[in-house]
Structure 1
Amino acid sequence: MASDDDFYDYSYDEDSDGEAMEEDGVEDNDEPKAQEPPLQCWAIEKEALSAAQQQDLSMVMNLFNIKQHHARALLIHYRWNMEIITDHLDRKGQDRMLTAAGVVLQKSSGVASGRSRRVTCGVCFDDFSPRDVSTMDCGHSFCNDCWTGYFVSSLDSGKKQIRCMALKCPAICDEAVVQHLLRREHPAAAERFLDFLLQSYVDDNTAVKWCPSVPHCGRAIRVAAGESEAPLCEVECLCGHSFCFRCAARAHSPCPCAMWERWEAKCLGEAENVKWLLANTKTCPKCLRPIVKEGGCNHVTCLQCGQSLCWLCGAATGQAHSWTSIAGHSCNRFTAEEKKKVSDAQRQLRRYEHYYKRYEAHDMSHKSERDKLGPAVAELVTRMESCDSLVLKHAAPYLADAHRSLLGCRQVLSRSFVFAYYMFDDEDDVRGTRPPLEDTVEKVLFENFQEELEGNVERLSKLLERTSMPKEGDQKEEELLDTTSKLPEEDRKPSEEELLLAKQALNLEQELLEAKQEALNLALAIERQCRNMYSCIQDELLPMLVEPMAITAFQKKGPSKALPA
């Protein structure tokens, strides 16, 4: 039986994080700086949002010694960003910050002096006893009935922050007073007010967004960010849905948000139409309108302009024809088309078809590798980890890591065609008046990275499929893995069947180790090529755009996974 050392490949070292690095590959200090540490993020259940919100409110209340509704107004004004609040507090001071947020501190503690027994409401002009009148921090007093009607009206108009109903008064109404008055006559409105306050923690917070999964999982994702605007990152909720945190669309790097938004709108309106047109129509060579053939004859006439054409090749012909031939026309021989003038409409359609087919093909491959190949790789890894061979136990995690790299890089490859469709289109307005990019160094460099990535992704996919999904008729791997390292005891002579089985088990062990090393090398290669392509996009191509755009940093393990809050 071979020892463990016989099967270890020392062409890589283990770094401090336990990740394999090639000795002859690109060193860390030479790699493009397009990779950043995964962003910390947490998934908050809807029931726990109130506690998370209250934690931030309590911090601000203690910091400024103010009431809860004042703290909420301050947090909403600064988009619930505690780093910005503490920074502005040091630079501006408390008074300027509160004034900028529209916070008015309490001016009086009562609605009337000790001698007054009745109070006149400034809205209905009726007199009320002090207990039927409520006063806000700004000192304005109105009767409870008028306040209640005003609160209900404000909620119906969708306001989350209710301000004093005195003319041009910026003071925020005390949440406790609002709740107290609404609960008396409008309990449903009181619950709606609480929901509005809870939603403000997500809707007005640059660091928190609802998971956009459909159906909605009910979780909100919070990221650790110190920016004033929504951070540019991709996250994965506990429900498994991955999305761009800035635009809330599904994860789309290395395609910028603006390009991805256009692509989704275009695909939603055109994808199915383009598929049907390509499969069932020919373009009239004269008026460029799509033509559908209704009869069996391959001589077709456009009903719009009367142009005759051959259905087989789409070329213009004369009108004379029979059921078997078209006079003066033959297309049975293949000839290269030289200097053919293609109309703009045809060019755009064919160009869209080119990029869409490749985007869709890689997207479908990703789904197959996730849903079919994934369980097969996971099952193989489990069997390898449970067998007696220490060598296979050590190799098992690398196959699982290679599969994860395959899924991530396959998605990057798919979306790179969306980026290329818009980036290299001279007629689209995404680049404004910048010069065309045909045959430029940047375009060639990008397409070279894309081509290399595509080739290695296909090789890794085929390798994992061949390793984890053996063909029918092959001896089951689990039977051979069970016999690995289980040779007969020395006190008896093994049978021929036992020796054959042990030999097959050793051969399988060697094959799995070779597959593991090849998968590891391919995984490192596609990750490096992804980083190169990201750097090319960020440093060379995006600066050419008139509209400023950016992409998320490459993460070899995909979007940052949210942790339970």
Structure 2
Amino acid sequence: MSSDGDEMDYDDFEFEDDEGIEDDNGSQTSIGEAYDAFDDGVAGKPVKKDPWDISYQPKSVEELQEEQKVLVDRVCGLIDSDPSTAATLLRHYHWNPEKLSDKFWEEPAKTLHAAGLSPPSSPSSSTKPLPASNNAKASSSRSRLEPVPTESFECPICCLEFEPEEIASQTLSLGCEHRFCKGCWTEYLERKILDEQESGRVQCMEDGCGRVVGERTVIALVNDKAKDRYRVLLDRTYVDDSPQLKWCPHPGCEYAVFCKESPARKLDQIIPIVHCACGNDFCFGCGFANNHQPLTCRYVKLWQKKCADDSETGNWLMANTKECTKCNATIEKNGGCNHMTCKKCRYEFCWVCQGDWQSHGTSWYNCNRFDEKTGQDARDSQAKSRASLQRYLHYFNRWANHEQSAKLDHQLYQKTERKMEEMQNGSDLTWIEVQFVKRAADVLLEARMSLKWTYAMAFYMKKDLSTEIFEDNQANLEQAVEALSEMLEKPIDATTIMQLKSDMVNKTNYVKKRAEIILDDTLKGHYESRWKFTDRD
């Protein structure tokens, strides 16, 4: 049989204790220490200001590719394999060389098999079993020469027949011994890459076979378009496989962000917002494409779902409509009288208690003649539904107002630029000196985003003394934001530009300070588990 060259050659290979990796100076370093050193080397991360902040570092595609090469080279040196095999093993173990090393030296054959790199297991194969421990040795060398085919071969997929002398050049068999013609391999691989967006885990065409197609084989068979896409997908899987890396979700950005300590288990205590090299923020925890502080990831998802689905339509219906107790038709009250008649079945009932209208007699304002609990339940249910809807709308309207303001940031910047030009033309101020207007717009937008999420947070908070302080801080920031926004909207008076500059700088600093106060307090409260929440419907 022929081989794609991706399986490891264990001829004369000794599985011995390896103390680590030898560097350029001849000293030994364990793979764990090497990977830690690699992590520290990639860092250059900002120093954490508070315990609820995270350290992170944006990574370009070139940096990601270099990191992959470093890890692949180290694993190649450790287990004496080719780069394609090392990369496949690393992908299977999510680019964790320590875990790979432990598993491989404990059970080499099982580790290779799990990664889709097991050697041929066919009875006709001459491959000897792999050693079971790191002290075992492969016996004598085995021959890699294959017998020359004497019979023709028919591709199981396209049914083309190949003469014995064509088999080696026109067909391909992986280490699993499943042979197909190269034309079928090419079509299969290109479809997997271009249509299904698969890369590092493409498996053999044989149904049920878990053999992974190596990188060298893919590159040798597919066209240039598929090659380029394949390399892009390999980079993406490197990031997707690592809990310490995440792609920036903003359109057109090709950066990923590295965070050595993954915050996944602390998302009820911290809100891991990172600033990408493209200039945008996103949440490392939930992948949300903007800064959603001070609301935690869990409640951001609940809030988005509540705002997006039809649950509030249901709340409105419960608060403003009732069902006929006879035919269950939905009825909306269109007048002040409580005497209702169902247009569908003509059943007459009381809107207040939903009891039969005939039982009310002449005292139709009095619903106490019916079961008290039934009447009370009907009134309580409607009152609670109406109160729930009003509460939601209170917070949603304020949240949506700041959301809309954030969407208008482009127009705000256009207005700001015009205002800066007016100031420059109407005074002796230089372009640098009028930058305070742009800073005011930046601070205003950031404060509005923070305010927006404080309203979503307040919706889920349980009321106590802490929430009263939170709402006081929220009100102070709201007032300061509106005052600064009014300053930016006012027309410019050439005679008062210097006073305007002084007032705007002071108000900008005040808004920034108020925003920092509420964010620091809420983030500290999350970290200390001070806030209490409820999953409201």
- The question of a shared fold, defined as TM-score above 0.5 by the shorter chain, is answered with yes
Provide the identity percentage.
18
Q: In structure 1, how many angstroms separate the alpha carbons of the residues matched to 2:154 and 2:531?
A: 59
Alpha carbons of structure 1 residues 76 and 447: separation in structure 2 relative to 1, 3 Å: same
1:453 is matched with which residue?
Answer: 473
Which deviations, in whole Å up to 9, do the C-alpha atoms of 1:11-38 show, x marking residues without a partner? xxxxxxxxxxxxxxxxxxxxx9465367
Q: In structure 1, how many angstroms separate the alpha carbons of the residues matched to 2:205 and 2:105?
A: 24
Q: Does the 8 Å CA contact 1:284/1:307 hold for their aligned counterparts? A: no
Alpha carbons of structure 1 residues 159 and 399: separation in structure 2 relative to 1, 3 Å: closer
Q: Does the 8 Å CA contact 2:248/2:256 hold for their aligned counterparts? A: no
Q: In structure 1, how many angstroms separate the alpha carbons of the residues matched to 2:349 and 2:385?
A: 22
Q: Does the 8 Å CA contact 2:481/2:511 hold for their aligned counterparts? A: no
Q: In structure 1, how many angstroms separate the alpha carbons of the residues matched to 2:293 and 2:511?
A: 21
Q: In structure 2, how many angstroms separate the alpha carbons of the residues matched to 1:510 and 1:88?
A: 65
2:123 is matched with which residue?
Answer: none
Partner AA of 1:116 in structure 2: V
Q: Which of these residues, 506, 509, 516, is aligned with residue 517 of structure 1? A: 506
- Does residue 308 (structure 1) correspond to residue 350 (structure 2)? The answer is yes
1:204 is matched with which residue?
Answer: 241
Match runs of 1:483-522 below 5 Å: 505=496, 508-522=497-511
Measure how far apart 1:200 and its partner are. Answer: 2.7
Q: Which of these residues, 10, 35, 59, is aligned with residue 70 of structure 2? A: 59
Q: In structure 1, how many angstroms separate the alpha carbons of the residues matched to 2:532 and 2:89?
A: 37
Q: Does the 8 Å CA contact 1:381/1:399 hold for their aligned counterparts? A: no
Match runs of 1:149-160 below 5 Å: 160=199
Measure how far apart 1:75 and its partner are. Answer: 3.8
Q: In structure 2, how many angstroms separate the alpha carbons of the residues matched to 1:151 and 1:460?
A: 60
- Does residue 463 (structure 1) correspond to residue 504 (structure 2)? The answer is no
Secondary structure of 1:520 counterpart: helix
The count of corresponding residues between Structure 1 and Structure 2 is 425
Q: Does the 8 Å CA contact 2:417/2:438 hold for their aligned counterparts? A: no
CA root-mean-square deviation: 5.2
- Does residue 258 (structure 1) correspond to residue 298 (structure 2)? The answer is yes
Partner AA of 2:74 in structure 1: L
Alpha carbons of structure 1 residues 190 and 119: separation in structure 2 relative to 1, 3 Å: farther
- Does residue 73 (structure 1) correspond to residue 122 (structure 2)? The answer is no
Match runs of 1:96-111 below 5 Å: 99=111, 102=115, 104=117
1:131 is matched with which residue?
Answer: 169
Q: In structure 1, how many angstroms separate the alpha carbons of the residues matched to 2:162 and 2:330?
A: 75
1:40 is matched with which residue?
Answer: 57
Alpha carbons of structure 1 residues 450 and 510: separation in structure 2 relative to 1, 3 Å: same
Q: Does the 8 Å CA contact 2:245/2:259 hold for their aligned counterparts? A: no
Q: In structure 1, how many angstroms separate the alpha carbons of the residues matched to 2:282 and 2:152?
A: 55
Q: Which of these residues, 286, 290, 295, is aligned with residue 247 of structure 1? A: 286
Q: Which of these residues, 384, 407, 411, is aligned with residue 448 of structure 2? A: 407
Q: In structure 2, how many angstroms separate the alpha carbons of the residues matched to 1:141 and 1:328?
A: 85
1:15 is matched with which residue?
Answer: none
1:367 is matched with which residue?
Answer: 404
Q: In structure 1, how many angstroms separate the alpha carbons of the residues matched to 2:324 and 2:208?
A: 67
Q: Does the 8 Å CA contact 1:412/1:530 hold for their aligned counterparts? A: no
- Does residue 357 (structure 1) correspond to residue 394 (structure 2)? The answer is yes
Measure how far apart 1:272 and its partner are. Answer: 5.9
Match runs of 1:406-485 below 5 Å: 406-420=447-461, 424=462, 443-470=463-490, 476-477=491-492, 479-480=494-495
Q: In structure 2, how many angstroms separate the alpha carbons of the residues matched to 1:327 and 1:282?
A: 24
Name the stretch that deviates more: 285-294 or 452-461: 285-294
Q: In structure 2, how many angstroms separate the alpha carbons of the residues matched to 1:117 and 1:316?
A: 88
Q: In structure 2, how many angstroms separate the alpha carbons of the residues matched to 1:174 and 1:408?
A: 47
Partner AA of 2:179 in structure 1: F
- Does residue 144 (structure 1) correspond to residue 181 (structure 2)? The answer is yes
Partner AA of 2:350 in structure 1: S
- Does residue 534 (structure 1) correspond to residue 523 (structure 2)? The answer is yes
Q: In structure 2, how many angstroms separate the alpha carbons of the residues matched to 1:289 and 1:38?
A: 58
Alpha carbons of structure 1 residues 417 and 382: separation in structure 2 relative to 1, 3 Å: farther
Q: Does the 8 Å CA contact 1:120/1:128 hold for their aligned counterparts? A: yes
Q: Which of these residues, 224, 234, 256, is aligned with residue 258 of structure 2? A: 224
Match runs of 1:269-308 below 5 Å: 269-270=309-310, 273=313, 277=317, 281=320, 291-294=331-334, 298-299=337-338, 301=340, 303=342, 306-308=348-350
Q: In structure 2, how many angstroms separate the alpha carbons of the residues matched to 1:410 and 1:542?
A: 17
2:145 is matched with which residue?
Answer: 113
Measure how far apart 1:258 and its partner are. Answer: 3.2
1:26 is matched with which residue?
Answer: none
Secondary structure of 1:531 counterpart: helix
Alpha carbons of structure 1 residues 318 and 345: separation in structure 2 relative to 1, 3 Å: closer
Q: In structure 1, how many angstroms separate the alpha carbons of the residues matched to 2:531 and 2:284?
A: 20
Which deviations, in whole Å up to 9, do the C-alpha atoms of 1:313-369 show, x marking residues without a partner? x7999979xxxxx98869xxxxxxxxx976356425522431343133233134226
Alpha carbons of structure 1 residues 308 and 73: separation in structure 2 relative to 1, 3 Å: same
Measure how far apart 1:403 and its partner are. Answer: 1.6
Measure how far apart 1:223 and its partner are. Answer: 0.6
Name the stretch that deviates more: 517-526 or 114-123: 114-123
Alpha carbons of structure 1 residues 127 and 418: separation in structure 2 relative to 1, 3 Å: farther
1:556 is matched with which residue?
Answer: none
Q: Does the 8 Å CA contact 1:384/1:392 hold for their aligned counterparts? A: no
Secondary structure of 2:256 counterpart: strand
Q: In structure 2, how many angstroms separate the alpha carbons of the residues matched to 1:167 and 1:278?
A: 54
Partner AA of 1:308 in structure 2: C
Q: In structure 2, how many angstroms separate the alpha carbons of the residues matched to 1:34 and 1:408?
A: 23
Higher RCO (Cα < 8 Å, 6 or more apart): 1
Partner AA of 2:297 in structure 1: C
